[in-house]
């Protein structure tokens, strides 16, 4: 089986992650390099592990999380679609089974909130992991007046917690006073709505916390 380690050792993928990050850096976007890839990879697999998915599914989630943003090398718009198209041949050349390639490409190609749908368990885990990665370390150059920068910079801690028994997935953000919940929602609301859908796909309730206060109205409260 192709593993995350194999993917990490693939020079094509390493070059694509690096180049994608450079494209976004030139657009003054937040960090999308190896740190983001590693966080989304680890968190996606952790979500599936806590919900009892097998090791094969966890490994596919690790891979999808690691490579989901490589399409930014082509263009920021529809970058998930570009990622999926680029990945198909790379993973085929690595001798990954076609079924697994399709699962990963569908998940990656649907991770953007503007055009994506939750299409399989890997996709659901990837959405929750990706949308939860907001943190001050992602801000490369703090631009005053840029609400994305201001909100990200104010987040001093972010964490995803999964209660496999109660079927609750919690995304927790801790912000300092340099931004506000209103600012957060003004830019991240659609991402959190997609995360709610993703949690429901996995049979779970999604709870969004900011500074330990629940912000959303969880659809299926079980506690
Ligand atoms: Fe993305
Ligand atoms: Fe991402």
CATH code assigned at 134: 1.10.3210
**For residue 41, how many other CB atoms are within 10 A of its CB?**
24
CA distance 108 to 134: 19
Confidence (pLDDT) at 146: 85
Distance between Cα 82 and ligand 1 center (Å): 10
Distance between Cα 197 and ligand 2 center (Å): 17
What is the per-residue pLDDT across 157-203, written as a single tens digit (0 to 9) for each? 999 999 999 999 999 999 999 999 999 999 999 999 999 999 999 99
What is the per-residue pLDDT across 26-59, written as a single tens digit (0 to 9) for each? 998 888 999 999 999 999 999 999 999 999 999 9
Number of domains into which the chain is organized: 1
**In Å, how far are 42, 48, 162 from 210, measured between CA atoms?**
22, 24, 16
Q: What predicted TM-score, i.e. pTM, was given to this entire model?
A: 0.95
Q: Which residues pair with 168 in a beta bridge?
A: 163, 205
Residues with CB under 5 A from ligand 2 (ion): 69, 130
Confidence (pLDDT) at 217: 82
Instruction: State the residue range of the domain holding 109.
Output: 4-214
Question: Does a structural domain hold residue 72?
Answer: yes
Q: Is the pLDDT of residue 99 over 60?
A: yes
CA distance 41 to 63: 6
Question: Does a structural domain hold residue 221?
Answer: no
């Amino acid at each position: 089986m192709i593993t995350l380690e194999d993917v990490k050792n693939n020079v094509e993928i390493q070059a694509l992650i690096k180049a994608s990050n450079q494209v976004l850096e030139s657009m003054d976007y937040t960090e999308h390099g190896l740190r983001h890839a590693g966080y989304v990879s680890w968190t996606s697999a952790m979500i599936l592990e806590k919900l009892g998915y097998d090791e094969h599914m966890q490994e596919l989630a690790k891979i999808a999380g690691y490579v989901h943003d490589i399409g930014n090398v082509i263009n920021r718009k529809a970058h998930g679609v570009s990622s999926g198209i680029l990945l198909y041949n790379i993973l085929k050349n690595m001798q990954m089974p076609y079924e697994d390639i399709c699962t990963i490409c569908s998940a990656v190609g649907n991770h953007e909130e503007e055009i994506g749908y939750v299409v399989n368990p890997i996709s659901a885990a990837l959405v929750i992991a990706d949308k939860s990665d907001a943190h001050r370390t992602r801000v490369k150059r703090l631009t005053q007046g840029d609400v994305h920068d201001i909100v990200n910079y104010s987040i001093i801690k972010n964490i995803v917690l999964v209660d496999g028994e109660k079927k609750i997935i919690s995304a927790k953000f801790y912000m300092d006073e340099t931004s506000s919940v209103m600012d957060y929602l003004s830019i991240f609301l659609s991402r959190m709505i997609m995360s709610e859908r993703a949690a429901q796909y996995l049979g779970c309730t999604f709870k969004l916390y900011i500074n330990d206060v629940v912000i959303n109205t969880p659809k299926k409260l079980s506690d």
